[in-house]
Chains A and B, each alone.
Chain A
Amino acid sequence: MIMRSMLALLIAALAPRPGVAQEPADAPPALSSARDSAIDRDTRALASQLRCPVCQGLSIEDSPSELSQQMRGLVRDQLRAGKSPDDVKRYFVSKYGEWILLSPPAHGVNTLIYALPLVALASGAALIAIVVRRWTRVANTEEDGAPRGRETSDEITRV
């Protein structure tokens, strides 16, 4: 009797456990980990576009502050809840204004931020072109006319 119950115990111990038998069921966790890594990637991408409210020019991705950590958590939770990255961005803009975005969208007065450097670059190039043309014209007329250049260099050596 004892032998039989011990044998039964041994069989029970050696028998494949339900958990082991369900090994193929580990596939869904693998899938969910793929989803998690996608959410992590989106969270990082989004967090690096959002400004940390308690820092100077840092994103919430780069800031170690407590508020940034909580904001990152909120970004992740909203993405996990099925919101799109744009929805999450809109949420933060509705709370903090466009100030929260590290690169402001190019509309309204913000367009100036993007347009002004181009305008400055273009006007600088134009200025250089005008000045260079004027210089070369002066140099040409000097070469054509009296050797004023030599005179001045003579003057310089005299001084």
Chain B
Amino acid sequence: MDWRRSTIGAAIALPVIALLAFGMTRDPRDIPSPLPGRMAPDFVLASFTSPTGSTPARADSVHLAAMRGDVVVVNVWASWCLACRDEHPVLREIGRRYAGTDVHFLGVLYNDNVESGRRWISEMGGQSYPALEDPGARTAIDYGVYGVPETFFVGRDGRVAYKHTGPITEGVLIAKIEELRKAHPVAVAPADAAGGTAR
């Protein structure tokens, strides 16, 4: 009788414990993004810095689709974001290293005003790539951004290959860029066409 009771008890308790244990291994703040693998939402955003630093330039706009065939790193940031301060030196230096190559860096300002953004960039020692204004956070919402910093890697095929949440490190940044650089646009084109109709 006792063994039967304990078997029933274990049969009820074990799945519950297993479920809770599985929950403990997961980060509740980590929200899975449906974006990787899909076409990167296109945008045309006005740049509020010159490519070399913080001096206001004429309102150049950046069109993502014009960069098709190249690797694009889209970093979403804000001047009020503390973690953005940690990653900025990495982005600035690696961005400078890849300047003029087939890798483009773009910084999208999130829920912030341009003046604060501009001041922050000059405080942080400049930015080697364009800082873009995103009125109404429309582009950020299009990318499913829920906090800053977030960094999106767009491959040569125009698809989001990877999304990084939180401050990015030099190792991850270079590894992802080089991985995407290796992918040849011609080689991925058929997959692109097939995947385009999938969803």
Name A's B-contacting residues (CB within 8 A): 53-54, 66-67, 70-71, 73-74, 93-97, 99
**B141 near A74: Cβ-Cβ < 8 Å:** yes
| Assembled-state Cα–Cα distance A66/B32 (Å) | 22
Given A53-B146, A70-B141: A95 touches B35 (CB 8 Å cut-off): yes
Q: Which residue of A lies closest to B28 (CB)?
A: A56
Question: In the complex, which residue of chain A has the Cβ closest to the Cβ of B110?
Answer: A67
* A95 touching B34, Cβ below 8 Å: yes
Contact with A along B34-78 (1 / 0, CB 8 A): 110000000000000000000000000000000000000000000
Distance between Cα atoms of A71 and B31 in the complex (Å) = 18
- Separation in Å of the A92 CB from the closest CB of chain B? 8
* Interface residues in B, total, Cβ within 8 A: 17
Residues of A within 8 Å of B83, CB to CB, are none
- Assess whether B144 is interfacial by the CB under 8 Å rule: yes
Chain B residues within an 8 Å CB radius of A95:
34-35, 141-144
Contacts beyond the supplied A67-B140, A97-B34: 10 A-B pairs with Cβ under 8 Å:
A53-B146, A70-B111, A70-B136, A74-B141, A95-B35, A95-B141, A96-B31, A96-B33, A96-B146, A97-B32
Q: If the complex has contacts A66-B111, A67-B111, are A96 and B136 also in contact, measured as CB distance less than 8 A?
A: no
Q: CB of B94 within 8 A of chain A?
A: no
Cα(A70)–Cα(B137), bound, Å = 7
User: Is the CB of B147 closer than 8 A to any CB of chain A?
Assistant: yes
**Interface residue B164 (Cβ < 8 Å from any Cβ of A):** no
A73: B residues at CB distance < 8 A = 136
* Complex Cα spacing A105 to B50, Å: 47
Q: Are B33 and A97 in contact (CB under 8 A)?
A: yes
Q: Which applies to chain B's interface (DSSP): helix, strand, loop or mixed?
A: loop
Which residues of B from 137 to 173 have beta carbons under 8 Å from A? 137-138, 140-147
Cβ of B178 to closest chain A Cβ, rounded Å: 28
A62 to chain B, nearest CB (A): 17
A-side contacts of B144, CB under 8 Å: 95-97
Q: Which residues of B contact A74 (CB under 8 A)?
A: 136, 138, 141
Q: How far is the CA of A96 from the CA of B31 in the complex (A)?
A: 8
Q: A53-B146, A96-B31, A97-B32 are in contact. Are A71 and B141 (CB under 8 A)?
A: yes
Choice from B32, B35, B137, B138 contacting A99 with Cβ under 8 Å: B32
**5 interchain residue pairs of minimum CB distance:** A53-B146, A95-B144, A70-B137, A97-B34, A96-B144
User: From B41, which residue of chain A is reached at the shortest CB distance?
Assistant: A95
Set of chain B residues within 8 Å of A97, measured between Cβ atoms: 31-34, 144
Quick one: closest A residue to B137, CB to CB?
A70
Q: Which of B34, B111, B138 contacts A96 (CB 8 A)?
A: B34
24 contacting pairs across A/B (C-beta < 8 A):
A53-B145, A53-B146, A54-B146, A66-B111, A66-B137, A67-B140, A67-B146, A70-B111, A70-B136, A70-B137, A70-B138, A70-B141, A74-B136, A74-B141, A93-B34, A95-B35, A95-B141, A95-B142, A95-B144, A96-B31, A96-B146, A97-B31, A97-B33, A99-B31
